[in-house]
Amino acid sequence: MVRFEEVVLRYGNGPEILKRVSLQLDPGSYHFLVGPSGAGKSSLLRMMYLAQHPSAGRVALFGRDVAGLSRRETALLRRRIGVVFQDFRLLDHLTARENVALPLRIGGQSGARADKARSGKEVEELLAWVGLADHMDALPPTLSGGQQQRVAIARAVIGRPSLLLADEPTGNLDDRMAVRLLYLFEELNKIGTTVVIATHNESLVQRFPHPVTRLRGGEVEIAAATPAERSAAPRPGA
Amino acid sequence: MAALYRARGRSRQAVPLDRDSAGRYLPLLVAIMVYLAVLAVAGALMMTKLAERWDSGLAGALTVQIPPAADTAAGEATLEAVVAALAATPGVRSAEPLDRQAMSALLEPWLGDALLGGDLPLPRLVAVTIDTAAPPDIAALQARLETLAPGVLVDDHQRWLARLLDLARAVELMALVVVLLVVLAASIMVAFVTRMGLAAHQRSIELLHLIGAQDAYVARQFQNHALGFGLRGGLLGLAAALPTLYLARLLLQRIDSGLLPELSFRPHEWACFVLLPVAAALVTMLTARVTVLRTLARLP
């Protein structure tokens, strides 16, 4: 599903943000990516959702080397990836409902009237599920940070992506909602979606039995550790 | 509350171009462009009509001009000989000399009746109609009449008409150039505003790309917007041009010279005018699309 081989990332002539990172995520797996701020989690995710090309090394998604993709192929590949951005990236002039429906519009799944009705219903159900039934026609600037984050999550999963990437998806949520959303991601994972969640909230991660990759200073410190390996590994800073 | 919550309706464009201040005056600029284009086309059509009118009016006609004679009797004899020679020429249908009264009526607006009443020597004119299917040889006719009336002039108006037709073609060409310049100016403006829109909405466009939008999807946002303001501006320009054309028509009617044609248009000419705003809208739409696609293609 996702394969990084000796990936190096640097911006211009600056320092290396990622240093010879190699990792592999199998289809249908659920991964946590943890590490302190500046460890390179977001940069790694950016490469996974094709917003950034590596300075060196090779990135392959869905079995395809991303270096040789045309713009059209890149767009089609991105439709199979759902992303929860750290800064939400909602379009302020569209309602919560319209923001969530955007991937369906772009993918051409809401063109015909029947499709439109079906996708409209799915959007409403999803927004209700994330607790925004009363805010479907609200514009993002009128929503709280947590509410915006939930709209962003709904937008990321509405198209049932093969790969779901979430950058600090629980950062603005209370614990109850955060756990609830991670369970939503688990539901998606059960139907075959590969999930990668970048977070610095390690206590939240401990509640789930999924492998964890820890980044530190642009390097992989622990790769895909199982809960048993995690408990055996030294705690950061210990 | 309306600003916080929106009633459900038709989905809004993903890129909010209707809020851009840069594009606010574009409909007005397109309107001015279409206004100028309508006037240019109307001018060209009128010039063509003028040429057609004079061409058809003079087709199959000659004017024979006999210099004034020293005495009236000799002059009349020469006139009769010329008319007889003309009548006998193959291809000539009729030859009607203009009498002095008709000549005076023709010249009165320029010379006044006081001068004409005197002994002002005037050439004699013969209006000749010819068979356009088998016209006489003008040079041979000129040579034959020269023997009867030295200094006679056979005028088939072709030299004058050719110049008029040249003028009409030049005006048509100028109108075409004006329309092309209008199209060019409109395209440059639209391309400029589109680039500003791309820069202003860079973040939204980046998001659309990240969730799988192809360049064509982004281009559609811009081209639909451009089509809308192109049509609005075009129709406004046409609406503004119509009173101007009506005013020009009234002014032409006041001249009432018979030399100028009436400013009225046939259905296919009206169709031309109606097509101008449509063409303006299509040009703005295509320009926006091409600009977006070319700009995005340069992105990594």
Residue B84 has pLDDT above 70, yes or no: yes
Buried-exposed string A108-146: b where 16+ CB fall within 10 A, e elsewhere: ebbeeeeebeebeebbbebbebbebeebbebbbeebeeb
Residue B179 has pLDDT above 80, yes or no: yes
Residue B116 has pLDDT above 90, yes or no: no
Residue B72 has pLDDT above 80, yes or no: no
pLDDT at res. A152: 93
* A106 in reach of chain B (CB within 8 A): yes
Q: Is B19 helix (H, G, I), strand (E, B) or coil?
A: helix
Residue B82 has pLDDT above 80, yes or no: yes
Largest CA distance in chain B: 102
Contacts of B52 (CB under 8 A, 6+ apart): none
* Banded model confidence at residue B258, pLDDT cuts 50, 70, 90: low
Select from A106, A134, A157 the residue whose CB has the most chain B CBs within 10 Å, as the one to mutate to test that interface: A106
Which tokens is B82 given?
């010329």
Residue B13 has pLDDT above 70, yes or no: yes
Strand locations in B19-112, DSSP E?
A: 61-66, 92-97
Q: Which chain B residue's Cα is nearest to A81?
A: B211
A52 contacts in chain B (CB < 8 Å): none
How many other CB atoms sit within 10 Å of the CB of residue B15? Answer: 25
Across all residues in chain B, what is the average pLDDT? 85
The ipTM is 0.88
A89 contacts in chain B (CB < 8 Å): 203, 207, 210
Residue B51 has pLDDT above 60, yes or no: yes
More confident residue, B261 or B196: B196
Give the dihedral sign, CA B190/B192/B193/B197.
Answer: positive
* B203 in reach of chain A (CB within 8 A): yes
**Series of mean pLDDT values for 10-residue runs along chain A (238 residues):** 92 89 91 89 93 93 91 92 93 94 83 66 91 93 91 92 91 80 86 90 84 89 68 54
pLDDT at res. B165: 81
Residue B23 has pLDDT above 50, yes or no: yes
pLDDT at res. B5: 54
What share of chain B in percent tops pLDDT 90?
33
Q: Measuring CA to CA, which residue among B8, B15, B12 is closest to residue B199?
A: B15
Strand locations in chain A, DSSP E?
A: 2-10, 16-25, 30-34, 56-61, 64-65, 81-84, 163-167, 194-199, 212-216, 219-225
pLDDT at res. B264: 80
Distances (CA, A) of B25 to A5, A197, B21: 52, 47, 8
Using CB atoms within 10 Å of the CB of residue B100, give its burial: 0 to 12 exposed, 13 to 18 middle, 19+ buried: exposed
B209 contacts in chain A (CB < 8 Å): 75, 78
Q: Which chain A residue's Cα is nearest to B214?
A: A75
Which tokens is A192 given?
């075959």
SS (H, E, C) B203-257: HHHHHHHHCCCCHHHHHHHHHHHHHHHHHHHHHHHHHHHHHHHHHHHHHHHHHCC
* Banded model confidence at residue B244, pLDDT cuts 50, 70, 90: very high
pLDDT tens digits along B137-164: 888 888 988 888 888 888 887 777 788 7
This prediction has a pTM of 0.76
